[in-house]
Amino acid sequence: ARPTTIPRAEELAALARTAAQRCGVDLAAIAGDVRTPSPVNGEDLHPVTWVDAKSVDLAVERAQEAFLAWRTVPAPVRGALVKRFGELLTTHKSDVATLISLEVGKITSEALGEVQEMIDICDFAVGLSRQLYGRTMTSERYNHRLMETWHPLGVVGVISAFNFPAAVWAWNTAIALVCGDSVVWKPSEITPLTAGACAALLDRAMTELDTPAYLSQVLIGGADAGQALVGHPGVALLSATGSTRMGRAVGPRVADRFGRVLLELGGNNAAIVAPTADLDLTTRGIVFSAVGTAGQRCTTMRRVIAHTSVVDQLVERISEAYRRLPIGVPLEAGTLVGPLISGTAYRNMRDALEAAAQQGGTVLVGGGRRLEDQAPNAYYAEPAIVRVDRQTAVVRQETFAPILYVMPYESLDEAIAMNNAVPQGLSSSIFTNDQREAERFMSADGSDCGIVNINIGTSGAEIGGAFGGEKETGGGRESGSDAWKNYMRRATNTVNYSGELSLAQGVDFTI
Ligand code: NAD
């Protein structure tokens, strides 16, 4: 283990307070007695107050008023707000990243990457504000025009998970704002300061551009605040990111009131490593995807399905890389693996490793805990590799920790079937230099996931594509491509300029 020193509690709390204040957070206003332990040292950063479910009603009411004013503002003018927000994020990139590192335990480079992703989606949304295109279709009738128009939808409720405490909200909010919607955000209860900082920066942009009040609001609270948002009939679109368990509770409730829902839930992502794979590139791709964010990304690689001709060599290479992983304080230069979010997360990891062993697997490396003596309430886990010969129950579930199951395959058909034989359908990869295999993996009878990559790991998506997955991942798509259509309502218009009334399908209704 490399030497690493856990900073003192006051030091980290001061760092958090300074970063939050620089973004414009009123620390006194949010102070309370709900604990905010940092995964870095297990000590509180700045205990906060939580809103109750009643505040949700008021927030949605205010958001509806804001929406009524905002929806008639021209979309490119709405884009100017998002442009300014992106500029403020650029100025405060390291402040927001510091808060992400402190609240989530992300290493500095990944925390900065998360803020960059927010800046990128702002750029994308600004461009989009001039491209909310509808189609014109050919009408079957003489002198008629058939077309569609996209209109603002309403209040967008955003519920986000701890592991992307800022970017997920930004994906939703930047797009929702240019689409003419207002936003009410219920961030993860674990990340109130990051949420406060992001909201304060957007507030500043809103004040500068004199937009309607309450266009974007944040509600720091627990699952009950989330539940109130889910059930509120005033929320036109509910975008929820988190566990499949949460999605199972949320989806039917929104459907019951005929609201629109966008679910971004758990993943259990695999890479197939084919005989022709470049093993250097593959090893680097696997290690980043499997241990980045300490295995706590929805797109984290959790399974490797390697051809029998390469599996032993591959396991040797990744095990060697795992033994050298710099695990430690995420703010320290050189650290690649920070802490797990909590003791519960570490216990879940241990339970899964135990179950894997009982189900016939062999733990090759990792699973232990580091820095326990210095920080008994922080959980620095050694990422683990487990060799299995088939996908047992524990392999098929998402354990939100750095455990990589490696298993062999003989034929590509078998490997694709294994890739697809889990309840989740978020991300997938194949490492191959055989074009036919790559094409097959991307084809209709290939991977069944929302993200299908070739010669790159399962994590680290760019914002330009639509992000999301199938099956228990929830089916939602956010971020780039045409995901904006989720945030607008479509009107189909038929215009008759013929001077006569002709009916479609040749219907004769002469009176
Ligand atoms: P979580 O499900 O515990 O919590 C997510 C959010 O949902 C929190 O804000 C929480 O307060 C809220 N919530 C919980 N129960 C609720 C309910 N019944 N009604 C309304 N709101 C409720 O998830 P987590 O531990 O914060 O995050 C980890 C999980 O999120 C993993 O499963 C991961 O794969 C998933 N995730 C998915 C994506 C994606 O885009 N697909 C992205 C990030 C994380």
Closest by CA position to 302, among listed 488, 196, 426, 128: 426
**Ligand 1 mutation pick, 246, 428, 459, 479, max ligand atoms within 8 A of CB:** 246
Residue nearest to atom 35 of ligand 1 (CA): 242
C-alpha of 359 from chain center: 31
Residue nearest to atom 11 of ligand 1 (CA): 223
Ligand 1 centroid from CA 379, angstroms: 20
Ligand 1 centroid from CA 91, angstroms: 29
Ligand 1 centroid from CA 372, angstroms: 27
Q: Specify the ligand 1 atom closest to the Cα of 188.
A: 9
Sheet-wide strand order for 488-496: 136-137, 144-152, 488-496
Burial of 295 (0-12, 13-18, 19+ CB in 10 A): buried
The CA distances from residue 433 to 143, 213, 409, 444, 455, in Å, are 54, 54, 17, 20, 8
Q: Specify the ligand 1 atom closest to the Cα of 230.
A: 20
pLDDT score recorded for residue 53: 82
Ligand 1 centroid from CA 470, angstroms: 16
Residue nearest to atom 21 of ligand 1 (CA): 226
Q: Specify the ligand 1 atom closest to the Cα of 341.
A: 25
Residue 286 neighbours by CB under 8 Å, 6+ apart: 271, 273, 301, 304, 318, 404, 457
Query: 134: helix, coil or strand?
Result: coil
Write the pLDDT tens digit of every residue in 258-270: 999 999 999 999 9
Phi and psi at 405, nearest 5°, equal: -95, 130
Q: In whole angstroms, what is the distance from residue 123 CA to residue 145 CA?
A: 34
**Ligand 1 mutation pick, 159, 172, 248, 268, max ligand atoms within 8 A of CB:** 159
Q: Specify the ligand 1 atom closest to the Cα of 244.
A: 32
pLDDT score recorded for residue 226: 96
Ligand 1 centroid from CA 166, angstroms: 13
pLDDT score recorded for residue 1: 58
Q: In whole angstroms, what is the distance from residue 207 CA to residue 46 CA?
A: 26
Residue nearest to atom 23 of ligand 1 (CA): 242
Q: In the structure encoding, which two tokens stand for residue 94, read together? A: 């390291």
Closest by CA position to 498, among listed 142, 138, 137: 142
Q: Which DSSP letter does residue 295 get?
A: G
Residue nearest to atom 43 of ligand 1 (CA): 298
CB 332 within 8 A of CB 433: no
Q: Specify the ligand 1 atom closest to the Cα of 473.
A: 41
Q: In whole angstroms, what is the distance from residue 239 CA to residue 241 CA?
A: 7
Torsion, Cα 122 336 449 360, to 10 degrees, reads: -160
Q: What's the sign of the alpha-carbon dihedral 413, 422, 463, 234?
A: positive
pLDDT score recorded for residue 303: 98
Type of residue found at 124: F
Ligand 1 centroid from CA 219, angstroms: 16
This prediction's pTM: 0.97
Residue nearest to atom 8 of ligand 1 (CA): 188
**Ligand 1 mutation pick, 104, 232, 243, max ligand atoms within 8 A of CB:** 243
Residue nearest to atom 12 of ligand 1 (CA): 223
Residues listed for the chain: 511
Q: Specify the ligand 1 atom closest to the Cα of 267.
A: 34
DSSP 155-202: EEEEE--SSSTTHHHHHHHHHHHHTT-EEEEE--TT-HHHHHHHHHHH
**Ligand 1 mutation pick, 110, 230, 241, max ligand atoms within 8 A of CB:** 241
Q: Which of 264, 382, 398, 478 is catalytic?
A: 264
Query: 323: helix, coil or strand?
Result: helix
Q: In whole angstroms, what is the distance from residue 385 CA to residue 371 CA?
A: 20
Ligand 1 centroid from CA 220, angstroms: 15
For 12-45, the three-class secondary structure string (H helix, E strand, C coil) is HHHHHHHHHHHHCCCHHHHEEEECCECCCCCCEC
Ligand 1 centroid from CA 246, angstroms: 6
Ligand 1 centroid from CA 39, angstroms: 18
Residue nearest to atom 26 of ligand 1 (CA): 161
Torsion, Cα 224 486 441 387, to 10 degrees, reads: -10
Closest by CA position to 367, among listed 346, 345, 382: 382
Where the chain has pLDDT below 50, the residues are none
Kindly report the number of other CB atoms within 10 A of residue 442's CB atom.
14
Kindly report the number of other CB atoms within 10 A of residue 173's CB atom.
29
Q: What percent of the chain has pLDDT over 90?
A: 98
Residue 53 neighbours by CB under 8 Å, 6+ apart: 224, 225, 227, 228
Q: In the structure encoding, which two tokens stand for residue 370, read together? A: 């580091």
- As for ligand 1, residues whose beta carbon falls within 6 Å of it are 159-164, 186, 188-189, 222-223, 226-227, 230, 241-243, 246, 249-250, 264-267, 298, 398, 400, 426, 473
Task: Specify whether 264 is catalytic.
Answer: yes
